[in-house]
Structure 1
Amino acid sequence: MLRGQSEIRMIWLMSLMIVAISAWFLSFPLLTYVCGFALLMSVMHYVDAIQQPAQALGEQRLIAFRATSKVPLYLSSIIAVVGGLLDWGWMIAAGAAAWIFFFLRWLRRLEQYLGQIQQAQHFLPQPASSVQPDIPPLPFSATAEATPVPAPNLVQQIKHWIFDGNPVLKTAISILVIGIILLLRFATEHWQLSLATKLIMVALSSAAVTGLGYRLQQRNRSFALGLEGLGLAALCLTLFFAYYNAVIPNLLIASGCFLLLMGLTLWLSLRQQSVELALMAMGMAYLAPFTLPVRDATAPEFIGYYLVINIAVAVLSSLRPWKFLNQIAFLMTVLVGGSYAFVHGSDADRDLMTVLILAHAAIFIWLGFRFSQLLAQQDLDKFKLKPALDIGLIFAAPLLAYSSLYVLHFQDTAWQAGLSLLFALLFAVLYRFSRHHQTVQLIAHSYLSLTLIFLALIPPILLPAEKSVMGWAIEGLLIFLLGLVRQSKISLYLAMGLLVVAGLSSLYYLVELIVFPRAMFWVLCLSYVGVVLLSNSRLQFQQQLSSSMIGFQCLLMLLATTMLLVLLQDEWSGELSAVLSLLTLGLAYWAVNEILLRRQAGVAWLFSKWSGLVPLLLFAAGIIMLRMQQGSIVWASFNERLLFAGAGIILSLLWLRPLLGVRTEKEWVSAGTLLSLLLTSLTLLPQQPYISMVILPLLFCGWCYWQAQPDWQMFWQARSSLLLMLAWMICSQLLSQQAFHGYLLPILNPFDLVSIAMLVGFLWMLSLQVKAGLDRSMAAVLMVLSLLWLSSYIVLRGLHVYVGTPLNELALWRNGTVQLSLTLLWVSLAFVTMSWASRKQLRSVWVLGGSILVVVSLKLVLFDLSHIGTLTRVISFLAAGAVMLIIAYIAPMPDPEQPVERSPSE
């Protein structure tokens, strides 16, 4: 697992480097800077992931690690990014050089620490139980015989064939096959001999290689099989080139030659008991049509060609239980053949394609039955259909074949019902035949299930037009209920399939019908909701839900809520239709939530409920966007405003109840609750949306702080809460159009007071985030930047009101008054922070103040020296230097050996 994570990290780092270098050469510098910044952060995270287990191991050996702050690394990264955005090469170089220096220092300390751990481990005595004698295991021991060897799956078999054995031989065969393809294409276009002569020469050479391989099988089996596979593949390619270049005049002769070639492959594979030879030959046969240089095959030609190959596979599998050959045949037919037929098919080929699909279905139904029968005969006690591909041969093959035929005859109800009846009768006969044989009882039950499945498809098919969608949905609901009562997984999956068919069919009728089919969508929505409610109504029903079923129910609630919003708006009329629809669904969710909680609904209902609340949140946000005019929210009436507030409160309570959801998935609950509170809060002061939107979230934050309960603190430890707070702090200062509404003095105005309250809440949240695992250095950087950002804008707004300096313009960087004011503000904040930390002996807080001084020093060097006048430059430097002297005298760094060091929140 750790190795896989390491490989993924290295792939990620290499990808970032490749994208950054490519973007630089393609003249996309912004993408280069973004990838470079991501690379720096990823490298730091990578090294930190190595440091954490090393520290844990060192604590066991009582070895202390000298902590290295990552604040300089973050600051260096920010300097480099800012330099890139301003197109200052020297600033990028300075930031990169500083980052490399601090990063190497971090690595050096980590290397020294790992050396200490290794040295301590060398001198520790090893426990006696861990010392094992170096005795090789006996080749025929009882333990080895008792240990069952699990059968390899398809992926393991492919890895074994590629990497084990003789890799040089396999590489040579692959290269030679490519060379034969290129030779055939070149011969077709350039050689002066007749095309028939060229292809006969290649065919004779391929036959000679096959014969040589057969002669060498007694001396070197792997090499001989490789030669035979190469020769058979070349013969197959030559046959294709001959037919599609008209050397072989008609399809009948070409088919006869191909049957002879498949017969030769079968004979060689069976005689030598070699599945590898069959895999090589059949694999090249499946891929041969894509090597043609002249024209594409039609869909019937392509599917008919695959039918011949699958017949050969069926013969092989009827005699030998070669599981991997069956799986490859199924996957190639479904994925490659199905995709090709979908792209190149036409209405004129429908009848012929129907026959070919039925033929393929018959082959794979036989393959599933015969293969499982052979395995069961070998070991009846251990026989289980665990792999998904084995189950696919029994269930997926007929279901996919019927789905293809259903689409081909979509307008013909008689065809659809007749085909369903035909499949039902077929599996009924197979069930009747197989239930008397003890070795295939599991297969017999599968055939019975398939019989019932195809019989269940007939009633909805016979219903006309959009009523068939209602039939699919209602039948799916009833079968799902039956599956829950009978505890039948087959019934549950069948019901899921019927509901999917109902949803897809509804989209077709939505486009085709002139009138909006309200009744169809009402039945579909209620069926979707009914499935979710029934699944969570009883504890025994909840225990049957797997993770895939829970995910499916989340999708059902998402779709059902979206459709219900549309339907309810169609039912209501007037300016309150949107808000009434939102409120109605919110109340319905509240009632259902209370009922299911009383019935002990668990995690499955929580995830389904949250998925259903997502469309409601998006719909509420859409209402707000439609009411937005010139930076303010204009409600149509007071009733609309009041109803929207009620709907928002209900949504907030739905996200929070039960509080168990915070422990289950705090990211979902935190994001949903805060967004709901934010939308509700917009109804309080619609003329000042940036102030209004955070009133309720701030009150909720204060309430959680005074509660001092772990669950409420966990709510604010979510990363989604952190991102939402950061988004408000950035966007509100840059985009607010009512920042000066009610402005009296700096700080003594609504916008500044709200900004300060958000800063306090953000700092408290960061202290909780550190407890939840957020990197301390990252938290320190965010604290410093948020403090500087909000306090600077308070000063900038005051200067804009009283002095007339620019605001949110690039000109403020060249304004001497602005730069002087920011310098004085930042050094004052550093002075207050560091002096208080020095008195309280809080070393971490003192480091934060020191970080502010670093930012001030960078600002003096980068901006004040080049963009402002002489007097302000002198005052900036003198004031900053004087305050730094005072700090150095009265606020020295606290002693690192203090026994107790509290967090900044304390």
Structure 2
Amino acid sequence: MTTGRNELRMIWLVSLLILAASTWYLDQRVLSLFCGLGFLVSVMQYVTAVQVPTESMAQALNVPIRRNSKVPLYIASIVAVIGAVSGLNWLMGIGITAWIYFLLRWLQRLEISMLSIQTRLQHQHTVNQSVVLPALTEHIDTQQVTATSENRDSNFVEQIQAWIFQGNPVLKAAIVILMVGVILLLRFATENWQISLATKLGIVALVSAAVTFMGYMLQRKNRSFALALEGLGLGVLFLTLFFAYYNLVIPVLIVAAVLFLGIMLVTLFLSLKQESVELALMAMLIAYIAPFTLPIREATSVEFISYYLVINLAVAVLSSLRPWKMLNQIAFLITAIVGGIYGLLHIQQSDRFMLTALILAHSAVFIWLGLRFSQLLAQSDLHQFKLKPILDIALIFAAPITAYAFLYLIHFNDIIWQAGLSLIFAVVFACCWMWTRRSQTIAFVAQSYLSLMLIFLALIPPILLKGEWSVIGWALEGAVIYVWALERNVNVARYLSMGFLLMAGASSLYYLVEMNPSPNHIFWLLSSVYLMVVLISQLKAKYEQQLDTLAVSFLSLLSFSGSLMLLILIQDQLPFQDNDVLSLLIVVIIFSLMNELISRQNKTWTWSLPKWSGIAPLMLIAIILIFDQSQNAMIIWDSHQERWTFALAALLLSRLWVHPISALHLSKEVVSFGVLLSLALCSLSFIPTLPYISMVILLLLFCGWSYQQKAQSLWHLIWQTKSSVALMLTWMICSQLFSQHAFSAYLLPILNPFDLVSLAMLTAFMWVLLQHMKQEQDKGLIAVMMVLSLLWLSSYIVLRALHIYVQTPLNSLDVWSNATVQLSLTILWVLLAFMTMWIATFKKLKPLWILGGSILVVVTLKLVLLDLSHTGTLTRVLSFLMAGGVMLIIAYIAPMPESLEKE
């Protein structure tokens, strides 16, 4: 797994380099820049993936290593990007060179650390070799025994992989290539060769027969090679016969059928005589794909299904004499997928009854294969035969259910046919159940036939209901069976109920499209049933123990569908003007009551995932409502009642995300995103005329409350997420760029609502980043984000002040060419660096000092890139003089602290 991941990483890096070089050559500099930036970040993340486990191992072995910082790498990356954007190739070259230097130094230190760890491990191995060696030998023996057992009982996918990649894969690839070549040869011969078509196909058939005979004669010398030749020859014979029939060389169907049966009999004889499932598999696969190689016309659905029936009869003969269940599985999958799709796409109204008979014949074949499999299973040594329920019982369950599904679609509007076919299947499996009970077979096989009988009997009542009432029948019966299955712990019944409930949902969509007006009563009942099933499945501990991943995923789908349907239905029924918001509140209250009831049962992920799926569409609707109420960069509510109703709904949503708090252990990213976004939506109702200020009020209060909690509190986990960082970054960027009310109640710089909220968000963001740093995350990236966020918000405070008092530009490219703005930013950034580095020296905090030093690096870049190009103006000269003077003061009173005790 690790090797494959490393290969994917290298492929990704090489692809980025190739794409970057190509786009640069094609003069697509923007794409090349993004590819280069992606390459830099990917390399750093790749090395981090190696560094983190290395440091963990060193800590476990008490090996002293020197930690490496990625801050120089990030700074060099920024320099390179700035140089590329501004067109200064020399600056971009300096940045790339510095990045490569720091990366190589980082790798060198990492190599030294790994050598130290290796030395320590060798020393421990020498000391403990006498103790470890016997245990290791025993472990290896155990692994060998386990591997032998697993190889004996490999599942379907492993069998396919072994057949393709083990043995002689080159030989198998050669057979495939030769078969493609033969197909192309036959098509070319049909269309271009001047000799008669019968002569052409006769020559190909003789050569194929000779190849088959040659393979049979070589079986004692090289079995695998001989079987490959036999499979190749038989496959070409199948293809040649198809070309001969569809090109009228053999015009009579009976003659072609007799020849086909002859080739099939030869295949059966050789496969059974040589005990070779590989030969049977090769020949059958070629026979299955033969109809798709025809150059003349496509086969009709009746011809195609009839042809597949003959092949499946041959498979039934083979499987009745030999326990080759892989052949059965492949036959079923190809018939169900390829044959079923082909038949539905090419079906004609006049072919319905013929196709019904053919599908029933296919069902009889696979039902017989299931019975025969149960006999062989009963006669085998169960200690040497490991059951794989999903695949070994597939023929018992999947084949008749799949066949009935196709019959249901063929007779979609005829309930008599649907109910009658269901009754026929029920009678057949009742007979199978009684026969398997009397014969010597395994108990679960007889139980499977009993389950199938009950399944087909259960299909009849909802089918007999007319029109849209069948939806109600499917839903109610599915709910009753689901509750009974949970009470009795019957897996088959639970899967059956899932199918019924899904059938109810699919049928409701059909009637939603076909009937006008849509029948709302079935959607009311369907949504209620869906939510009731979700609720009941969480009420008892023994129910929870039966909920595996599939069951929880199914409940999540029901919760999502039920909440969305219920929201739309309530919205249509309410007579009030603000019915959108009120319907949202009603559905949120319903989920809140469900959450309160279920949370008392100490549920974990079995309830959290369905709950999140149910409130996800509610969150989406709430966001849509906010955008619908937006006018002129303000939230305009129709009434105060609507405004505070929405606030209450959003507040309840935030509690739904976080309660119970134990859900944080399941996915703190999901919980954090949901809680913070819900609080932001609720806050929008406080000051709707100032949305950017209003939306963070609750977030800041919640952040301050979390700060007051214990350091290891679960509430801190909400902020120790990438979701919290992403949401706060989004606000800081968008609010400064797009807010149209930043000057509301503007008194003085900082002494105004927007600046105060911006500084509060900056403080909260710094605290959040410190929480991430405590979790041993990428400290270099966190430091860069601290510097950039500090410069971003503080700079905009100055820009707004200059815009008010000096009428300088704001949020336009003219900012970069305005001398007053650039001088002010230089002074601001240098003062920020001075204050940061002086406090760091006074408190002996080296990381804080590095933070201030990073600001000085940004100041230096600004002076070189912008101010140096305008040295003729007084403000540019003052920028250099003031920056240099403050740097001298910093160098004197704020040198780098030597003590790292408080780091």
Q: TM-score, normalised by structure 1?
A: 0.95
In structure 2, do the counterparts of structure 1 residues 144 and 114 end up closer, same or farther at CA, with 3 Å as the change threshold? Answer: closer
> How do 1:619-698 and structure 2 match up within 5 A?
619-698=621-700
Hey, what's the Cα distance between the residues in 2 that align with 1:27 and 1:484?
Answer: 64
What residue in structure 2 maps to residue 884 of structure 1?
887
2:773 is the counterpart of 1:758: no
Hey, what's the Cα distance between the residues in 1 that align with 2:871 and 2:413?
Answer: 77
Hey, what's the Cα distance between the residues in 2 that align with 1:491 and 1:800?
Answer: 71
What residue in structure 2 maps to residue 55 of structure 1?
55
What residue in structure 1 maps to residue 473 of structure 2?
471
Residue by residue over 1:469-491, the C-alpha shift from the partner in whole angstroms, topping out at 9 and shown as x without a partner, is 01100111100011011111111
Hey, what's the Cα distance between the residues in 1 that align with 2:647 and 2:336?
Answer: 53
Hey, what's the Cα distance between the residues in 1 that align with 2:432 and 2:222?
Answer: 44
| Structure 2 counterpart of 1:770, from 745, 770, 773 | 773
What residue in structure 1 maps to residue 811 of structure 2?
808
C-alpha displacement at 1:31, in angstroms?
4.2
> How do 1:500-649 and structure 2 match up within 5 A?
500-649=502-651
Q: Is the 8 A contact 1:717 1:765 kept in 2?
A: yes
C-alpha displacement at 1:360, in angstroms?
1.9
One-letter code of the match for 1:890?
Answer: I
In structure 2, do the counterparts of structure 1 residues 869 and 415 end up closer, same or farther at CA, with 3 Å as the change threshold? Answer: farther
C-alpha displacement at 1:713, in angstroms?
0.7
What residue in structure 1 maps to residue 864 of structure 2?
861
What residue in structure 2 maps to residue 181 of structure 1?
183
Question: Which 10-residue stretch deviates more, 10-19 or 73-82?
Answer: 10-19
> How do 1:117-156 and structure 2 match up within 5 A?
117-124=117-124, 125-127=126-128, 128-131=130-133, 150-156=152-158
Question: Which 10-residue stretch deviates more, 868-877 or 853-862?
Answer: 868-877
Residue by residue over 1:345-367, the C-alpha shift from the partner in whole angstroms, topping out at 9 and shown as x without a partner, is 34343223222222222222222
What residue in structure 1 maps to residue 392 of structure 2?
390
Hey, what's the Cα distance between the residues in 2 that align with 1:855 and 1:143?
Answer: 63
Hey, what's the Cα distance between the residues in 2 that align with 1:270 and 1:616?
Answer: 62
What residue in structure 1 maps to residue 247 of structure 2?
245
Question: Which 10-residue stretch deviates more, 336-345 or 676-685?
Answer: 336-345
Q: Is the 8 A contact 1:583 1:647 kept in 2?
A: yes
Q: Is the 8 A contact 1:539 1:600 kept in 2?
A: no
> How do 1:298-309 and structure 2 match up within 5 A?
298-309=300-311
C-alpha displacement at 1:780, in angstroms?
0.7
> How do 1:427-438 and structure 2 match up within 5 A?
427-438=429-440
Hey, what's the Cα distance between the residues in 2 that align with 1:91 and 1:253?
Answer: 81
In structure 2, do the counterparts of structure 1 residues 89 and 208 end up closer, same or farther at CA, with 3 Å as the change threshold? Answer: farther
Q: Is the 8 A contact 1:814 1:867 kept in 2?
A: no
Hey, what's the Cα distance between the residues in 1 that align with 2:245 and 2:27?
Answer: 50
In structure 2, do the counterparts of structure 1 residues 639 and 886 end up closer, same or farther at CA, with 3 Å as the change threshold? Answer: same
One-letter code of the match for 1:326?
Answer: N
| Structure 1 counterpart of 2:166, from 154, 164, 169 | 164
Hey, what's the Cα distance between the residues in 1 that align with 2:168 and 2:638?
Answer: 78
Q: Is the 8 A contact 2:80 2:96 kept in 1?
A: yes
Hey, what's the Cα distance between the residues in 2 that align with 1:487 and 1:154?
Answer: 28
In structure 2, do the counterparts of structure 1 residues 900 and 433 end up closer, same or farther at CA, with 3 Å as the change threshold? Answer: same
Q: Is the 8 A contact 2:377 2:441 kept in 1?
A: no
Residue by residue over 1:706-749, the C-alpha shift from the partner in whole angstroms, topping out at 9 and shown as x without a partner, is 12251111111122111111111111111111111111111111
Hey, what's the Cα distance between the residues in 2 that align with 1:642 and 1:574?
Answer: 15
2:844 is the counterpart of 1:841: yes
> How do 1:346-365 and structure 2 match up within 5 A?
346-365=348-367
In structure 2, do the counterparts of structure 1 residues 372 and 865 end up closer, same or farther at CA, with 3 Å as the change threshold? Answer: farther
Q: Is the 8 A contact 2:377 2:442 kept in 1?
A: no
One-letter code of the match for 1:38?
Answer: G
Residue by residue over 1:742-791, the C-alpha shift from the partner in whole angstroms, topping out at 9 and shown as x without a partner, is 11111111111101000110111111112334211111111111111111
Residue by residue over 1:673-711, the C-alpha shift from the partner in whole angstroms, topping out at 9 and shown as x without a partner, is 111111110011000100000001110110111122511
In structure 2, do the counterparts of structure 1 residues 387 and 33 end up closer, same or farther at CA, with 3 Å as the change threshold? Answer: farther
C-alpha displacement at 1:645, in angstroms?
1.5
What residue in structure 2 maps to residue 422 of structure 1?
424
What residue in structure 1 maps to residue 739 of structure 2?
736
Q: Is the 8 A contact 1:648 1:676 kept in 2?
A: yes
Percent identity, please: 56
C-alpha displacement at 1:143, in angstroms?
7.7
One-letter code of the match for 1:459?
Answer: P
Q: What secondary structure, in the 3-state scheme, does the structure 2 residue paired with 1:439 have?
A: coil
Q: Is the 8 A contact 2:863 2:880 kept in 1?
A: yes
Q: Is the 8 A contact 1:473 1:498 kept in 2?
A: yes
What residue in structure 1 maps to residue 346 of structure 2?
344
Q: What secondary structure, in the 3-state scheme, does the structure 1 residue paired with 2:230 have?
A: helix
Q: Is the 8 A contact 1:814 1:868 kept in 2?
A: no
Q: Is the 8 A contact 1:799 1:818 kept in 2?
A: yes
Residue by residue over 1:65-93, the C-alpha shift from the partner in whole angstroms, topping out at 9 and shown as x without a partner, is 22221112223333444555556655544
Hey, what's the Cα distance between the residues in 1 that align with 2:85 and 2:406?
Answer: 54
Q: What secondary structure, in the 3-state scheme, does the structure 1 residue paired with 2:869 have?
A: coil
Q: What secondary structure, in the 3-state scheme, does the structure 2 residue paired with 1:866 have?
A: helix
Residue by residue over 1:396-416, the C-alpha shift from the partner in whole angstroms, topping out at 9 and shown as x without a partner, is 111111111111111111111
One-letter code of the match for 1:72?
Answer: P
Hey, what's the Cα distance between the residues in 1 that align with 2:244 and 2:94?
Answer: 67
Size of the alignment, in residue pairs? 899
Q: Is the 8 A contact 1:538 1:601 kept in 2?
A: no
Hey, what's the Cα distance between the residues in 2 that align with 1:25 and 1:561?
Answer: 53
What residue in structure 2 maps to residue 36 of structure 1?
36
Q: What secondary structure, in the 3-state scheme, does the structure 1 residue paired with 2:595 have?
A: helix
Q: Is the 8 A contact 1:538 1:600 kept in 2?
A: no
In structure 2, do the counterparts of structure 1 residues 18 and 328 end up closer, same or farther at CA, with 3 Å as the change threshold? Answer: farther
2:95 is the counterpart of 1:95: yes
In structure 2, do the counterparts of structure 1 residues 27 and 238 end up closer, same or farther at CA, with 3 Å as the change threshold? Answer: farther
Q: Is the 8 A contact 2:374 2:441 kept in 1?
A: no
In structure 2, do the counterparts of structure 1 residues 485 and 15 end up closer, same or farther at CA, with 3 Å as the change threshold? Answer: farther
Q: Is the 8 A contact 2:155 2:388 kept in 1?
A: no
C-alpha displacement at 1:462, in angstroms?
0.6
One-letter code of the match for 1:403?
Answer: A
In structure 2, do the counterparts of structure 1 residues 137 and 217 end up closer, same or farther at CA, with 3 Å as the change threshold? Answer: farther
C-alpha displacement at 1:438, in angstroms?
2.8
Hey, what's the Cα distance between the residues in 1 that align with 2:478 and 2:147?
Answer: 49
What residue in structure 1 maps to residue 786 of structure 2?
783
Q: What secondary structure, in the 3-state scheme, does the structure 1 residue paired with 2:441 have?
A: helix
C-alpha displacement at 1:649, in angstroms?
1.7
What residue in structure 1 maps to residue 269 of structure 2?
267
One-letter code of the match for 1:743?
Answer: Y
Q: Is the 8 A contact 2:870 2:876 kept in 1?
A: no
C-alpha displacement at 1:96, in angstroms?
3.1
C-alpha displacement at 1:12, in angstroms?
4.1
Hey, what's the Cα distance between the residues in 2 that align with 1:663 and 1:231?
Answer: 60
One-letter code of the match for 1:883?
Answer: V
Q: What secondary structure, in the 3-state scheme, does the structure 2 residue paired with 1:743 have?
A: coil
RMSD of aligned residue pairs (Cα, Å)? 2.5
What residue in structure 1 maps to residue 821 of structure 2?
818
Hey, what's the Cα distance between the residues in 2 that align with 1:149 and 1:522?
Answer: 52
Q: What secondary structure, in the 3-state scheme, does the structure 2 residue paired with 1:229 have?
A: helix
Q: Is the 8 A contact 1:537 1:601 kept in 2?
A: no
In structure 2, do the counterparts of structure 1 residues 294 and 880 end up closer, same or farther at CA, with 3 Å as the change threshold? Answer: farther
Residue by residue over 1:802-841, the C-alpha shift from the partner in whole angstroms, topping out at 9 and shown as x without a partner, is 1112111112112222222111111111111111101111
Residue by residue over 1:334-386, the C-alpha shift from the partner in whole angstroms, topping out at 9 and shown as x without a partner, is 22222333433343432232222222222222222212321331124565542
| Structure 2 counterpart of 1:828, from 819, 827, 831 | 831
What residue in structure 2 maps to residue 378 of structure 1?
380
Hey, what's the Cα distance between the residues in 2 that align with 1:280 and 1:609?
Answer: 49
C-alpha displacement at 1:583, in angstroms?
1.3
Q: Is the 8 A contact 2:153 2:386 kept in 1?
A: no
Q: What secondary structure, in the 3-state scheme, does the structure 1 residue paired with 2:750 have?
A: coil
Hey, what's the Cα distance between the residues in 1 that align with 2:250 and 2:870?
Answer: 83
Hey, what's the Cα distance between the residues in 2 that align with 1:445 and 1:38?
Answer: 57
One-letter code of the match for 1:406?
Answer: Y
What residue in structure 2 maps to residue 901 of structure 1?
902
What residue in structure 1 maps to residue 715 of structure 2?
712
One-letter code of the match for 1:402?
Answer: Y
